[in-house]
Structures are given as structure tokens and as C-alpha cells.
Amino acid sequence: MLYLGWSERVTSNWVLWQRSQAHASGLLILEGTNVTDTASAPSDTSSLDHIIIRFAGDSGDGMQLTGDRFTNASAMFGNDLATMPDFPAEIRAPAGTLAGVSAFQVQISDHDITTPGDSPSILIAMNPAALASELHRLDLGGTIIANEDTFDERNLAKAGYPINVNPLEDGSLDNYTLIKVPMTSITKEACAPLGVKPRDADRSKNFFALGLVSWMYSRPTDTTLDWIKAKFAKNEQVVAANTAAFKAGHAFGETAELSGHKVEIKPAALEPGNYTNIDGNTALSWGLVAATKLSGIPMFLGSYPITPASDILHELSSKKHFGIRTLQAEDEIAAVASAVGAAFGGHIGVTTTSGPGIALKGEAMGLALSLELPLVVINIQRGGPSTGLPTKTEASDLMMAMYGRHGESPMPIVASYSPAQCFDAAIEAVRIALKYRTPVMLLSDGYLANGTEPWKLPDPASLPPIDVEFATAPNAKNDEGEDVFWPYLRDPETLARPWAIPGTPGLEHRVGGIEKQDGTGNISYDPDNHAHMVQIRDDKVSVIADDIPLTMVDGPDDADLLVLGWGSTWGAITSGRRRAEMAGYKVAHAHLTHLNPFPKDLGDVLRRYPKVVVPEMNLGQLSKLVRAEYLVDAQAVSKVKGQPFTAGEIYDVIVGALQ
């Protein structure tokens, strides 16, 4: 197994090329100087094809909201974009400390992009801790916009700077463009005429930053101003303060002081249609809503709050007008158990959680498997083991999804690969659960859950219906020749058993987790019957391979290398492969949306290429599975840092594998 540590920031040729382009565009003409001291900067607006911005501040500074608003304005403007929130698990770590830094990265571009970008070229640092913790990510020569009001002795000390060291003053940032802005004091000044107390005005400084950045990147302002009005409608003074701060930031940019930094990123040439900027958890929730509509089967969600899955519970709780019933259960076990009960009653049983919750749900998943009832178990993966990294991403629950139940207990596994694609993945998970009467595991992760991208809204009429029927009549005869109902008499093609729900006269029957005779469903300890049932449950998953797409492959058939991925690595692998292709490498990318069963042609695909590497946010779980299944020398490339792969890292993996 090849294990690459990423302790050193990757500086690929691509990044260097980007920098040269940026220089050529005039963005960095003030590199190494302090802009507030420079009155004679050029005033023309330069144009870039993309930009990566990282907003960073204290947990209480509203950085997630600032990033989110900037993203929204960019979406409305028509850019392609991808975002990645990156925040600590603590709601409010001690103010001003490194532990409390909350960041939000966004890439906006005039063309199709698949990741929030490798390293930002702009860092907005609201305090010394944000600068100290995030500077290492910034491109050399990138731009720092720092709220200089916060760089006082106390905050500098909290951020770990030695006494009498201020990075804004000591020349240590000479390799960057440093823009010092007294954000707090200007915000307070702007709010003073409104009668806002200075302490309250302090809370609006993130809108100053937003206004400033909105000006620099020629973002439309109406979207943000309208949003402020609507969001804070209950408190006029807050609307006034935030509006004043936003306008002050915008005006600050517009005054001579920052001209030369105005950059334009033209709208991307996206396919015609209606778009929204959507995060993975919302898209996944909407997929579930669509699935209940498309199947006509009501939905029940049993869930226990857990990061980063809770937003699905929130979203579905607000969809009662779709007939969706939600239960915030007393624990993870009750959450899944209640969903099994609802499935017995003729609902689509759904439960949402993250890794620790999956560990608790294992026995009830086995029950659903034994009862052969439709259940969708959704795992928004996070760093583990144990509590691990609740707010950071990882994709290390694949083996648990495959094997994490006692006995031979196979479950189909669907994995989403981008925030918007979570919509399709959720529909697919429900489709398989309903058609094959089986629990299905849907894997997403923290990066997909909170990251966003533009999504072209589908035409509801174009979504394929999900056909499912309840049993209504007896299906067998007993020894006396009377009509009876056998709950385990299977459809010969799907191997699914009939779904007879309470309320249906004449089909009264009992099911249970104890082994049962195939057909009648009566308790059976017969050795041959058990062997038969174990095999049937395995076959039930295998036959799904005829009902799912072939492996998705991007790149030439005669490539020298195949990069095999699953889940959220799709964006980074796609971008990394494009870069490698531009640099002259012949490389293909296969991405799995179904992990159990695998697509029928996966073995052929893997054998088609001389080399296979598998980048994964774990220690090589998919690579182990494909090595075992297909006897191919698939090399694992691991990253387990709570952060997604960057395109640059994938590029380096490709180049490394081909050298």
C-alpha cells in the first residue's frame, strides 16, 4: 500500500502556472506592499477565470454566514462555484484562540469546476488567530485582508504570537499582498449615527468584510441587502447596522485605497436552466422528498441529532406537507427501530446519522435485513473512531457499511459523489430499498453535507417513477387447499418478498428476526433452510447488479493509469485528472456510485489499465475490497486529516504513479 502524507503543501506545476496567470492579470502587482500606504494603484478592473477565497475568523465572527452570503451572490451572478465550510466542533471555543477559528472556503469561476479549490489566493483574517491558523493554506503571493483593529497585544498573545510581535508590522508577510483594514472601527463609525451601541456594532463587522469582498469581486449587492432585510426583519436596528456595515465595506473598497484590486469573474457557461446553490444535506433531503413523491409511498424518518447529519432531520421536519412524518427518537437505536416499525406499516423507513450512530444501529439493520423490509440508512461520515472529528470529513465507514453487522448480512450500498448529486443518490437508495425490500446504506460525508455547488433543478416530470405495490391477496394454498398468505414467497426476478401491510384483510402474518422458513416465514431451525436463506439474502444483493449503471469512466481506454474513486473524492479526482491530461498524461478516472453490489463491468474496467490507484479518505478500504474481489493490484492512496483531497494532491498522485 502506498501511503502519502500531506504534511507539506503541494506546489504543483499547475499552482505555479496559476500564479503566473495571476501575475499576468495584474492581480498581484502590489505583492509585498501594504496597500493602505499606496495611493497610486492602477484603477482598472482585471478579469480572472477563477478565484479561491477563504474567510476566517473567530467562531463568533459569523464567517460561515459571510461565506454563505458571498457564495449566494456569486451563484446569482452566474458563476460556477464550490464551497467548503471548515469549523470546529465547539459551539464557541474561547474567543480569539486558535481552537476557535472558523473558516469557509469558496471557489468561484467562469467555467465548470468540481472542488472548492486547493489553496486560496485570498485570505480574509478577522483576527490574529485566523491569520495564524490559516496562513499556511494561502498561495505564496496571495492576498491577506486583515482586520487590523483586532491585532492588539491580547489577541496576538491568544493566537500564540510572541510578545511584541505583530505579523502585520514586522515584515513577515512580505511575500503576500497585505491589506490592513480597520474593520471594527469603521463599522462602529458607520453604525454610530443609527444609535447602535458600539458593542452591538462590533457584531456587524462581518458584513463590512462581506461588503469589501463583494466590491473587490464585482458581486451584485442587491441579493445580500435583500437577504439582510428578510433575515433580520424582526429587528430593524440589526437590519440597519448590518446594511450600514455592508455599505461601508463596499464603499471602502470603492475609495481610492483599494483600486487595483477589483477583479471580475465572468459568469460560467452553464447549461440553460434554473439553478440553485445547494449543499449535500439539503440535496439529499430533497431526494428523499422526491422519492416519496415518485413512489407514492409515505415516508417516515426516525433520527437522533448528530453532526454532520442533523440538517437532514431539520429539513425533513419542515416537509410535513409532503406527508413526511419525523420522529426525533430517544437514541440512535430507537431511531432505526422506529423506521423499521414504520416500514412494516407500509412507509419508506429512513434513519439518518453519522458513524457513531451506525455503530449503534447495527442490530436493527440486521433485523430489517431479516424481515426484508425497505429501510434507508443514511451515514454522513465523519472522522473516527469514537467521537473522532465530528465536524471534519472522512470516508472511513465503507467496511462498516459492507460488514458492520453480525452474521452474513449484506446490504446494498449507494454513495453520493458531489453535493448536488446527493439528490440522485437518495432517490436511488430509496428505489433499491423499495424494489428489493431491503435495507440500503447511503453514504455521504461531512464535506458533501456542508459543501455547496450550483445545481440545475430537474424537471419533476423527467424524474422516473418508482413502482411498488403492496400485496393484496393470498399467494399460496395450505395442506387443506385453503388460500393462505406466505410472507416469504419471492419474486423470482428480484427475490423480493411481498409487502403486505397491516390493515389488509386476509394477509395477517408474523415476521421476526429469528430464522424463518423460506416461503411460509414460519420459524425454522432446519440446517438446510438456514444455508438457503443465507444464500438468498446474498443473492438478493447480487441481482441488483443487473439494475444499476455500468462503471462511470472518464478518460481514454488506453490510459496508462486508472484512478478509482468513490464518494466525495470525485471533485478532486476530476480536477486532478484534467490537470494531468493538460500536462500530457494519459489517465482515466472511474467513480463508483454503487459499492454493493459493484457494477457488473468493474472487474473488466480495472483490468483494462496497467495501473490502478485508489485515493480514499481512509486507509484503503475500497482498495482492499477490489483487490479481494477482482485480484487486481489496486494501490491505496490515503488521506485521513479531516480534510478532503485537493486537486493538486490528486495530480501529484497521478504523476507519482506514472513516474
Partner 1 sequence: MSDTQVPETTKADWTSDQEPRWCPGCGDYGILTAVQMLMPTLGVRRENTVFISGIGCAARFPYYMDTYGMHSIHGRAPAVSTGLAVARPDLDVWVIGGDGDMLSIGGNHLIHALRRNVNLNILLFNNQIYGLTKGQYSPTSEPGKVTKSTPVGSIDEPFNPISLALGAEASFVARTHDMDRKHMQAMFARAHAHKGTSLVEIYQNCNVFNDGAFAQITKRDKRDAMLINLVHGEPIRFGVDNERGVAMDSSGRIELVDVVDVGVENLLVHDETADDPSVAFAISRLATAPTMPTPVGVFRAVERTEYAAAVSDQVDAVTASQGAGTLEGLFASRPTWTVS
Interacting residues with partner 1 (CB under 8 A): 72, 75-76, 78, 223, 267, 270-278, 282, 286, 289-290, 293, 298, 300, 302, 319-323, 325, 327, 329-331, 333-334, 337-342, 344-347, 349, 363-364, 366-367, 371, 457-458, 460, 463, 502-514, 522-523
Q: How far is the CB of 217 from partner 1 (least distance, A)?
A: 17
Q: How far is the CB of 233 from partner 1 (least distance, A)?
A: 16
Q: Among residues 111, 77, 86, 115, which one has the least CA distance to residue 217?
A: 77
Q: Name the residue with cell 386476509.
A: 506
For partner 1, give the closer residue by CB, 330 or 538.
Answer: 330
For partner 1, give the closer residue by CB, 193 or 272.
Answer: 272
Q: Name the residue with cell 393470498.
A: 474
Q: How far is the CB of 601 from partner 1 (least distance, A)?
A: 33
Q: How far is the CB of 253 from partner 1 (least distance, A)?
A: 24
Q: Give the Cα separation of 83 and 43 in Å (integer).
A: 30
- Between the CA of residue 171 and those of 147, 161, 167, 168, 318, what are the distances in Å? 17, 14, 7, 7, 52
Q: How far is the CB of 163 from partner 1 (least distance, A)?
A: 48
For partner 1, give the closer residue by CB, 282 or 551.
Answer: 282
For partner 1, give the closer residue by CB, 168 or 471.
Answer: 471
Collect contacts of 311-314 with beta carbons under 8 A, ≥24 apart: 311/279, 311/281, 311/282, 311/285, 311/449, 312/281, 312/284, 312/285, 312/288, 312/352, 312/378, 312/380, 313/352
Q: How far is the CB of 566 from partner 1 (least distance, A)?
A: 28
What does R_g of the chain's alpha carbons equal in angstroms? 27
Q: How far is the CB of 653 from partner 1 (least distance, A)?
A: 34
Q: Give the Cα separation of 355 and 399 in Å (integer).
A: 11
Give the Cβ contact number of residue 200 at 10 Å: 15
Q: How far is the CB of 460 from partner 1 (least distance, A)?
A: 4
For partner 1, give the closer residue by CB, 121 or 292.
Answer: 292
Grid coordinates given for 494: 428480484
For partner 1, give the closer residue by CB, 186 or 335.
Answer: 335
Grid coordinates given for 350: 429512513
Q: Give the Cα separation of 366 and 406 in Å (integer).
A: 7
**CA atoms within a 13 Å half-sphere pointing along the CA-CB vector of 44:** 6
Q: How far is the CB of 284 from partner 1 (least distance, A)?
A: 13
Q: Name the residue with cell 388460500.
A: 483
For partner 1, give the closer residue by CB, 410 or 487.
Answer: 487
The number of residues in the chain equals: 659
Q: Among residues 477, 478, 454, 415, which one has the least CA distance to residue 267?
A: 454
Kindly state the DSSP code that residue 523 receives in the 8-state scheme.
B
For partner 1, give the closer residue by CB, 150 or 351.
Answer: 351
Q: Give the Cα separation of 29 and 48 in Å (integer).
A: 14
For partner 1, give the closer residue by CB, 240 or 294.
Answer: 294
Q: Is residue 158 within 8 Å of residue 96, measured between CB atoms? A: yes
Q: Is residue 52 within 8 Å of residue 105, measured between CB atoms? A: yes
Q: Among residues 647, 637, 651, which one has the least CA distance to residue 2?
A: 637
Q: How far is the CB of 482 from partner 1 (least distance, A)?
A: 11
For partner 1, give the closer residue by CB, 97 or 282.
Answer: 282
